[in-house]
Structure formats: structure tokens, C-alpha cells
Chain A
Amino acid sequence: MDTNGQPKTIEEAVQPLSRRTFLKGAGMAMAGMAGLVAALKPLMQLESGQITLADLLKTHYSELTPEKYVAVVKELEDRTEKDYGKRPRISDTKPIEGVEFAYALNLSKCIGCRKCAHACLAENNQSRESDDDINMSYIRVLELNKGSINVEASDHYYEPESVPQEDKYYMPVQCHQCRESPCTKACPVQATWQEPDGVVVVDYNWCIGCRYCMAACPYDARRFNFSKPKLTADQMNPNQGYLSNRVRPVGVVEKCTFCLHRTREGKYPACLEVCPVGARVFGDITDPDSEINYILKNKRVYVLKEDVGTVPRFYYFFD
């Protein structure tokens, strides 16, 4: 080659293939590989079985055959038992035909005790640092100054000696199960949708965790699992719904489902049952004799952020 003065191609001109360049190239390749391996080292901490082939080939809820559903549920129950030390029973109660749920909350009665927010946590298996940690609760209770209904002036972290305070009133906010739901519209993969009974659900096996639905929600009603849920066996509610309160994996969005695993079986939502002042009314809006229908027809009803055009199934009213 260049020793005997022959012309050469660009590769040879730039870097003739000799022992020296070969060693240099090999050294560079080794250094590159070592760097890559070092960079990926944290992946070693993944527990074995944390990501399986089945995880990469999940099936959307709407496409689960009965056999596949049984297999998926068994896997979920196994994994929950392994990770949290208690075996759940995961059910999939279907919506009742002809029923459309709606919720109304009496602002004249609510005293801001936050019992609903705590009951939500006890029912729905959200992640928590301690029993008192209601950050992931689906209900945020706002303290407002009497004389205004501007939520931007509200206090979420009020801690007075006792409630209610004389000059304040209280407004619990949770998912409004909107008829024109901006969250389901936003989801790029149809992982969240409105069920026939009006409940907006999330398929935790399908959500990719982009959080666009959270950006879309005008009620700050959605929560994201930034880490694997922290939950003790004592704290876990073993009565779980596939589309509602089953223990979520890390990296997916969750939200209030009107406790569909309870309400579709004729029970009340956990937040209603616990309310000490009877401020909450829940029922079937298609039933003309229901209490919820009476309230919507006869009370002074207020819809939060009506201007956003979400047409919620959640109402506030005054006596």
C-alpha cells in the first residue's frame, strides 16, 4: 500500500488498515462497549420477573376474551400477592343496563372534615407514605372564603383546630365523570373511556403513562403512579375491580370510578357512606324516582367550571 507508493482509496488514505489502527479500533470499540454497559448498569436492579414478555404483549380490555381475562386476572392476583403479601379478588362487574350514575354534593352541608378523602384511600388502594397521606386520594377538599366561589383562592392544606370554620365553606372535588370528557379525547391509545353507565375508567394494562389526560382534566382529578405504589397488606382492600381499585402498576394514571366495583353491585360509593353530614347524594339519573333526580330538578344546582363545556355527571347544590 502506501509503502510502495501505490494510490489508495479514501479509507486507506485516511487510516490504512494496519496492526496499529486495528488495535486502536478494537480499543475504541472496547471503550465504547464498556461505557454502554456501565451506563445501563442500573437496569440490574430490576427484580427478576418485573418485566416479562407478557408485559410487552398486553391486550386492551375491550379485546380480552373470557379465557384471556381469566389468565390476566390470575397473573395480576399472583403478582399483587407476591409484592404486597395479601391476595386480592379481582372482579369485573359490568355496567347495569339502562343505568347512568350521577353524583350531587350539598355545599350547604359539607363541613370540610375530609372523611371522604380518607375513605377513598381506604377503598381504592392508592399509594401512600402513611395512613394520613391523602395525596393520592381521588378527592381534594377545597376551603373557600364565604362570599366567593373562586377556586383559585382556595386552600387545599387547611388545618384548623376544628371544622367548619365560621368564615369558610368547603368544596370536595373529584372526577366529574364528564359527558364531554376532555381526558378520554386526549388519550392517544384509547386507554381511558366512558363506560355505558357514565363512569370514566382507565385500563391500567394499556395506559402508556404520557399524562396527556392529566393535562386535559379541568378538575385535577387524575393521579399518576410516579413510583411503584406503597401499600401495606393491612392497608390493602382485597375487593378489587379490574377497571377500578385494583393495585396499579408503576407508571400509569388512575382516577375516581364512582367506586364502580361497589356501585354496580348496588352499594354506595365509599365517600358517600362515610359522610357524617349526609352531604352526598348518588344514584341513577335515568330513574325518575331517584333522589338524585329530585335534587337536579328541585334544588339550586351548580356545575363547577361549566364554561369549559365538559357537561359533568357531578353536581353541587345548595339547600
Chain B
Amino acid sequence: MATHVVTMIPGEGTGPEICEAVRMVIDASGVDIQWEYADIGLDCLEKYGTLLPEQTIQSIAKNKVALKGPTTTPIGTGHKSANVTLRKVFDLYANVRPVRLIPALKRPWDKLDIINFRENTEDSYAAIEHMVSDEVAQCLKVITWPGSYRIADFALKWARDNGRKKVYCVHKANIMKMTDGLFLEAFREAAKKYPDIETGDIIVDNCAMQLVRNPGQFDCLVLPNLYGDILTDLCAGLMGGLGFAPGANVGDNCAIFEAVHGSAPKYAGMKKINPSAVLISGIMMLRWLGEKAAADRIEKAMYQVLDEGKTVTYDVGGTAKTDEYAQAIIDKMRAETK
């Protein structure tokens, strides 16, 4: 029996070829994982009548951990996003999105190493919207004490466990005194448990400007859902794009690891896409599973391949296919263990 059973959701478009490459690398790291494959997305509509089949939900409920490729959310068709549904159903309240400098991307910053903790379930994403007259729409922004406290507590603990020094709360409490005020108050309360971590707060618009001017000043940020959605993409832009932007959606007892980027359907089957974002998400998953040695091994090999620049994908100036890049990482790992 394998040490871990993980639900693998390859997703759509380029998702299956990316996930296959990532599976190859993770399996070669020596970690003992049994992969349980599950479906999601538009193909499921025809087969099951839903973007998110019940079998997929049951598999994640059983295994408590999933690695997911990108999916496409149809716009304006009335179908609920499968991604949002997954976060809601499993109450995956912490969206963890680290960004750091990738030498191959040649960015102008001296330092960029930020972990963003985006609250994933509340704010104006609570799906409470009404047309209150024929020319007025409203959306309720819902912020709760327990929802705010737990993301702050989660972020502060993650920071402590991973040797981070500074956690800042991002808000607009000067204007939204009730909602963002509650978010900030809960953060300050949670911070009392972590006197060894430097804590503080910053207003979201100033944070956006400071991130662009001097991203090296930030360590960890805790954000309500909407600001988190925007600023985490801003941070991905600072890093050089979504090709290396991993993500984790974590709850108390379940976690889904996935890249931030979309499914790029026009490249499907061409094995052209850089799988690094899903691979780094996989590395985060291994650490979450307690497989630190395997995670470190893959990470080191990946950065070696990227630094050499010989077998890399087109987005970082190479000509390698998705699986060739994965094989180069595997070869590096094997060379290290000889």
C-alpha cells in the first residue's frame, strides 16, 4: 500500500500533458504516491451533466489532498465555476501563493520572496448579489470574525513553521470600517499568539504601489479575498508571469494544490507549455504531506535545469517540450543521487 493516495485532476486543455510531466517528476523523486485520477471541466458536462462530477468530490473527500491541472470556466453560460465550488465545498479558506525570483526570468528586482495568504471563502465572493431595481445591482461583502481570525492564524503559523519573520495584514479599514475593520481586528488578535513574528498592516492601495516600487520589503501578506485576488496576480507579474506561479488552497483537513494559470487550450497536445507552476504546486504538496526531502530534491533539480537554460521551454528562451523539461529535471535528480 502506498504511503500517500493523492487525487490527480489533470484538468483541461494543456492540463493533462502538464500533469503527466509533473507526475513523472514526483514519482522519480522517490516518494511513494498512488495517484487516483479524477475528472473536472467542460468534458464532464456532456458525460455527467456537471463541470464537477460527484466522483471527483468523493475522491477528494476520501484522500484529503489533490493535485489539479488548469481548467476553463465558461463565461456567461450560467455554470458555476468548478474551482470556486471545490473551494466552497471543502472550505479551503487559505489560498497560499508564494512568489520568488526565478533567475531565468531576469527580473529587475534585487529581492522578491513573498508568500501571499488570500482568504478564499468570504468578502464579495460570497455569491450574494441582487438586482435591487432595474438599474441598480448590489453585492454583499461578507467578512466574519472566525473567517478572518483563522486565515490570520493560519498565515502566522505558516510563517513561523517556515522561518519567515514578518506578516502584514492588507486592508482598507480607513474606508470600510466595519468589514475591513473586523478583518484587521481579527488579525491583530491572532498576532498576539505570535510575539516572535513581526506584524503590522498596510492599506491596500499603498501596498500595490509599494509592491511595484520595492517588492523586497515584503515577507508575508494576509489579504481578504478581493484584494488577494488582485495583488497575487500583481505579484505573479513581478515574478515574470504565471508560468512559475504555484498555488495551494488549504482547509483544516483538506488541500488542493494547483497552478494559477489557465488551461491554454490553443496549445493543447503540443507539449509546449512550461509545467513549472504545477510542479512547484506539487512541491508545496509534498511539503504539506511531510515529504520534505523529496520536495527539496525536486526543487533543487528544477532550479539547476532552469539556471543551465539548455532544456527549458519556449517561455524562458528554450525549445524543450514539456516532457523533455520534466525528463531533464529527473536526470538531474538521478545524477545527484549517484
Whether chains A and B associate is: no
> What is the interface of chain B, defined by CB distance below 8 A to chain A?
none
